[in-house]
Amino acid sequence: MGVTLSNVRKVVILGAGPAGLTAAIYLARDGLNPLVITGDLVGGQLMLTSLVENFPGFPDGILGPELMDLFKKQAERFGAELLYDRVVRVDFKGQPFKIVTESGVVEAEAVIIATGASARLLGLEAERKLLGKGVSVCATSMVHSLRGKMLQSLVEVIRL
């Protein structure tokens, strides 16, 4: 079943990270059948996270991508639709609001902006290779995983 772009939607959510998919779950359970326009990365920054240890209900932790896959499945189970596309611009001047994507135009009575953030990496060659193996994009995770350990200087890590 494909996503229909011609109808005016009650709610469109921009972003498919934790906030966007949580909104989709609640709205879909309420029968509003939201459309989630995913953007580039379904699951947001949690797709770059290895072990998530501080999410309730997972006493042993869960991998970021696995957690976001569960969010996505739950949203779809209740009736949320995902459109794998990028938003080019949004016109909030009149109703219905117009969301222009790379593949078409979507109209909505309400728009939730849940575009999140993105990690700004340094661009070092070793950075991507070591992501999740000592290099992290999450300060909370870094502090916990490095507590009580001696840190090497950035220069030493780059030599790897």
Asked if 107 and 130 sit in the same domain, the reply is no
Asked if 132 and 74 sit in the same domain, the reply is no
pLDDT of residue 152: 52
Asked if 133 and 109 sit in the same domain, the reply is no
Asked if 43 and 80 sit in the same domain, the reply is yes
CATH number of the domain within which 34 lies: 3.50.50.60
Summarize the confidence of residues 124-152 as an average pLDDT. Answer: 66
Q: Could you tell me if residue 86 is inside a domain? A: yes
pLDDT of residue 142: 60
Q: Residue 15 pLDDT > 60, yes or no?
A: yes
pLDDT of residue 13: 98
H or E element that contains 37: strand 35-37
Q: Could you tell me if residue 3 is inside a domain? A: no
Whether the bond between 34 and the residue before it is cis, its omega within 30 degrees of 0, is no
d(CA 143, CA 111): 36
Q: Could you tell me if residue 152 is inside a domain? A: yes
Q: Could you tell me if residue 30 is inside a domain? A: yes
Summarize the confidence of residues 74-80 as an average pLDDT. Answer: 97
Host domain of residue 133? 125-158
H or E element that contains 82: strand 81-83
Tokens of 10: 């009650």
Asked if 47 and 69 sit in the same domain, the reply is yes
How many domains does the chain contain in total?
Answer: 2
Asked if 65 and 106 sit in the same domain, the reply is yes
Asked if 66 and 103 sit in the same domain, the reply is yes
Q: Residue 102 pLDDT > 90, yes or no?
A: yes
pLDDT of residue 1: 43
Asked if 41 and 93 sit in the same domain, the reply is yes
The pTM score is 0.77
